[in-house]
Structure 1
Amino acid sequence: MPQPPAVQSPEWWRDRLYAALCKRTEKTNVFDDYYECEHPLPFLHEKARDPFRRLLRMSRANYMELVVDALVGRLEVAGFQSDVEGDSDEKAWRLWQDNNLDGGSQLAFLEAAIRGTAYLMVEPDARGGFRITPEHPTQVIVVYRPDAPGVPAAALKLWLDDWTGRLCCTLYLPDRIYKFEAPEPKTGGKPVWARREVTGEEWGGKNALGEVPFGELANRPRMLKPGASELRSVTGIQDRINKTIADRMMTQEFAAFPQKWVTGMEIPVDENGQDIEPFDVAVNKILIAEESGASFGQFAAADLTGYLKGKEADVHDIAAITSTPPHYLLGSMVNLSAEALKAAEAGLIHKIYQRRRFLEEGLEKTMRLAGIASSQARIVWKSPEWRTEGELVDALVKMSTLGVPREVLWERWGATPQEIERWRLLNESALQRAMAGDLAAEYGPKPEAAPAEL
């Protein structure tokens, strides 16, 4: 029987992180399914007829996607800003743009909201700069030192190479990098790892960064717990909604159309003595009976109000638990004033500010790994609050009367640091031209007076 690897050896870290990554992936796949509208269908007996199953497949109403998108849609990095002289802001923004992180960061924020965490990886490139890529939480895991929370001890990046059909992983330690590969294991099996040799590279080569090269974007973490999904508390309510919709559709299919009844007539039979349905009931048919004592009537149609109110109550529960404005989920805005809309969105805005605090930690670490000191490149976010142009301009004009600097007003307006710098230069240029014109008018050559007429 082979001996287990020594504690903190590369093989020990590899096996430990691989097991932790698989466990976390299995747990968070549930939330990914809910976001993708792959909810479990309400219970139905295995012998139920196909029409019932068809109705069940139509019963999914995906509120989980709305909950996540309401948050992620307002998480947008506008730029970087520092309080020191130099070009650190421009350098940080150029690095951000070169790595296409306008879109890449949105992908990472989305996965963090769904699965609880995501990552940005920093690697030196051949040109002497840095390459930053968003990494999926099913492919990367980072663990931290138990004696120093927040200090990464090791990380594992795992992926399946579709070209070769082999499972590959790279172990990152603060000082070394180790690469492994294995045939793709069967379901439930464990991979049989071997060293993955890369031409021109030393196996177990030096980690050029001297640190684990990942910035973690954690969503709603706790002191001794990792990030958590935005959907963690509401998947059960989504199941209730699906069940209510399924019940309503069953009722609509089989009881919403008023059922007819008739008395006082003889039911015909076929040659085998089986009753024959005497009428083909439809909205465009008339029922006629020859018997003088026949009497017709109909039962009341099923009332669907209870189902509709039950679904609406569950949607309100989702809105309350996730701080999502109810009109986002219900799709109704009837006679809502501007103040009412602001009040409805107050919980969402507060949640966004909370989530951004922890996302900033991962973003700032990423920039620091790429050579941008976090103290010199503060993250600037676009405002999550939506206000009309008139409201915003009126507030800024009032602030200007209090002596608030012009650049601060531009920032409050929503301008990025790059736009603010451009506007400042344009203003300086305009001022210089104006001053040059004033000086020319004051000290330049005066036009000669016309000779007086005799």
Structure 2
Amino acid sequence: MAGLLVEDREDEDVAGLVHGRSELEWLKHLIKCHDEEIPELEKLNAYYEGKQPLSYMHPELQRELDENVRQVVINWPRLVVDSIEERLDVEGFRYPGKAEADKELWRIWQANDLDQQSQMGHLDALAIKRSYVVIGRNDQDESTPIVTVESALDMYAEEDPRTRRLIAAVKRWCVGEGRDKEEHATLYLPNSTIWWIKDRGGEWIEDPNYPRDDHNMGELPVEILANRGRLKERHGVSELADVIPVSDAACKSATDMMISAEFHAMPRRVAFGFGEEDFVDAQGRRMSVWSRVAGRIWATAKSRKEDGVDVIQFPEANLSNFHSTLNHLAQIVASLAGLPPHFLGYSTANPASADAIRSSETRLVKRAERKQRAWGGTWERVMRKVLRIRDGEWSDDARSLETIWRDASTPTVAQSADAAVKLFTAKIVPLRPTRERLGFSQAEITRMEELDEQAAQNAMTRLAGGDVTPLFGTKPPPPEPDPDDVPEPEPVSGNAA
């Protein structure tokens, strides 16, 4: 029925309704909800990008100084987000009862460039509340379903209030510009995925270039990466919510400091007995009001004795009050975001030891581990749906998948190695988990295991030939005699001679 309005579908009253809405009604409803939240998402995105407007300045003053004052942006929002995202690295997926990561799931992960896409998804979720993961059929390679990560600026989803599962989602994009601009949308429903295009009359119709996909999964092929979800805010809260007001104050203070550096840190002068006509440039043209304020050198033919004019100079301003304000605001951001003091630069003292470094990062590490637990569940559901699309049925083993994350803390290499070796030597942890603790990737561990197996085969080959060196090692060289232990020769008598 491609190219026809869904309202004209003959089976709309029977099969075209999902949770009380037709497909077209779902599309319009989701687009309306998405339009309502886009301004807030764009505001959060602007703060992360450091493109926020100047705050805490009187509108009249801002209009007067607009052409001469440029805001100083201290981009603490990006620092807060990046400090957490840098500790969120997926390294594989493990089935229950298995000691190592599943190679097939990791192959699909790598084939979809999810090493990079997952990082971008985590970043967007931290900054603008959430991001989305979409799973779809791959017509070119049925063994490798397509997985993409989408921005909340382009996508919106709604969940069932009873089951807490997503029941509908929409993705929107535009092609072309001006009169050639085309609006496209994809509607995701539990049993179908439908592509739409807006016609010249402004009505949504099914896109004839993309046939609908009736996958009959019974679940939405979409998952949500929501940051700091709450019972009443299940779709997430931005990590910047607490930082934005303090960041605005810091940008305002830094901007004021630069204005003061321009007009008050340098000695100010006051002229008495001069008229408007005395302020001219080298060509004799009258200077503007702002030029008179910001001028560096004034020259005049008038004299103090004959004309009674006078010029005095005020002492320059001390900017240390701005420094103290910025340091205090940095401390507030550090306490709100759980960042160590040296991250924001207000503490330059060297940590006393590696333990002091780890202690200062305790809250930051714990925050990252909380994200790993929440988003680990999301990625596990994604991989379950990947297997469902690939195999055509749900996998019981995949219900207990485990996401393998890289350690979120920052221990020193020596300490990590020492702890891992001790646990392995005491036979508490096997060799493979020991290598995982040391931070080796799954590919590196697999290569190490191949080398271990090759070394074992070489040893068995040598044993079969009668060489016991692999068992007992090489024969040590004989010890050299001690000069003190060598007996002295007996003296020779004359008769014997």
State the TM-score bracket (shorter-chain normalisation): 0.7 to 0.9
- 1:356-367 to structure 2, matched below 5 A, reads 356-367=372-383
Distance, in Å, in 2 between the alignment partners of 1:88 and 1:332 is 41
Deviation at 1:32, TM superposition (A): 0.2
Is the counterpart of residue 300 in structure 1 residue 324 in structure 2? no
User: Is 2:412 the counterpart of 1:388?
Assistant: yes
Residue aligned with 1:57, SS? coil
- The equivalent residue for 1:188 is none
**Please, which of 196, 199, 220 is the counterpart of residue 207 of structure 2?**
196
For residues 178-219 of structure 1, the C-alpha deviation after alignment (integer angstroms, 9 at most, x for no partner) is 33322599xxxxx532333236x3x5x512544211121111
- Structure 1 SS opposite 2:379: helix
Match status 1:335 vs 2:346 = no
Q: Which residue of 1 aligns with 2:237?
A: 228
> Offset of 1:171 from its aligned partner?
1.6
Query: Alignment partner of 1:216: what SS?
Result: strand
Q: How many residues align?
A: 424
The correspondence of residues 294-443 of structure 1 with structure 2, limited to 5 A, is 298-330=313-345, 333-337=348-352, 338-371=354-387, 374-375=398-399, 377-403=401-427, 404-441=429-466
Q: In the alignment, which of 24, 39, 58 is matched to residue 26 of structure 1?
A: 39
Find the partner of 1:241 among 225, 250, 256: 250
Residues 94 and 100 of structure 2 are in contact (CA less than 8 Å); yes or no, is this contact kept in structure 1? no
Per-residue deviation, 1:99: 0.7
Does the C-alpha gap of structure 1 residues 297 and 155 become closer, same or farther in structure 2, counting only changes over 3 Å?
closer
The question of 1:78 aligning with 2:91 is answered yes
Partners of 1:388 and 1:284 in 2: CA distance:
61
Equivalent residue runs for 1:81-160 within 5 Å: 81-84=94-97, 89-126=102-139, 127-129=141-143, 130-149=145-164, 151-160=165-174
Identity of aligned residues (%): 26
Query: In the TM superposition, what is the alpha-carbon distance from 1:54 to its structure 2 partner?
Result: 4.7
Q: Deviations over 1:48-104 (max 9, x none)?
A: 676x32554232221111111111122111222234469970000000111111111
- Aligned-pair CA distance for 1:12: 2.1
Q: What is the SS of the residue equivalent to 2:167?
A: strand
Q: SS of 2:466's equivalent?
A: helix
Report if aligned partners of 1:89, 1:376 keep a CA contact under 8 Å in 2: no
Shift of 1:367: 0.6
CA change 1:385–1:48 in 2 (3 A) is closer
Rg comparison, structure with higher value:
2
CA distance in 2, matches of 1:215, 1:184: 33
TM-score (norm 2): 0.76
The range that moved more, 417-426 or 139-148, is: 417-426
State the secondary structure of the residue aligned to 2:185: strand
Seen in structure 2, the aligned counterparts of structure 1 residues 440 and 353 have a Cα distance that, compared at 3 Å, is same
Determine the C-alpha separation between the residues in 2 that align with 1:344 and 1:47: 42
Mapped to 1, the partners of 2:195 and 2:114 lie a distance apart of: 27
Shift of 1:257: 1.2
How far the C-alpha of 1:108 sits from its partner, in A, is 0.9
Tell me, yes or no, if structure 1 residue 172 matches structure 2 residue 180. Answer: no
Q: 1:121 touches 1:133 (CA, 8 Å); kept in 2? A: yes
Equivalence for 1:60: 73
Asked whether the equivalents of residues 100 and 432 of structure 2 are also in contact (C-alpha less than 8 Å), the reply is: no
3-state SS of 2:433 partner: helix
Pick closer, same or farther for the CA change 1:44–1:183 going to 2, 3 Å: farther
Contact 1:80 1:417 in 2 (8 A): no
Residue 359 of structure 1: CA displacement?
1.0
Equivalent residues of 1:89, 1:377 under 8 A apart: no
The worse-fitting range, judged by mean Cα deviation, of 87-96 and 343-352 is 87-96
Distance in 1 (CA, whole Å) between partners of 2:200 and 2:372 is 38
1:44, distance to aligned residue in structure 2 (A): 4.5
Q: Is the 8 A contact 1:79 1:418 kept in 2?
A: no
- Greater CA drift, 360-369 or 22-31: 22-31
Report the secondary structure of 1:181's partner residue.
strand
- Structure 1 gaps, min length 5: 186-190, 444-454
TM superposition shift of 1:347: 1.1
1:291, distance to aligned residue in structure 2 (A)? 4.4
- 1:283 CA drift (Å): 8.4
Give the superposed CA RMSD.
3.4
Residues 238-266 of structure 1, C-alpha deviations (whole Å, 9 max, x = no match): 11112112222222221111234689xxx
Q: How many Å apart are 1:162 and its aligned residue?
A: 2.4
Question: Where does the alignment leave 5 or more consecutive residues of structure 2 unmatched?
Answer: 1-6, 8-12, 281-291, 388-394, 469-497
1:174/1:300 CA distance change after superposition, 3 Å: same
SS in 2 for 1:125: coil
Distance in 2 of aligned mates of 1:66 and 1:316: 14
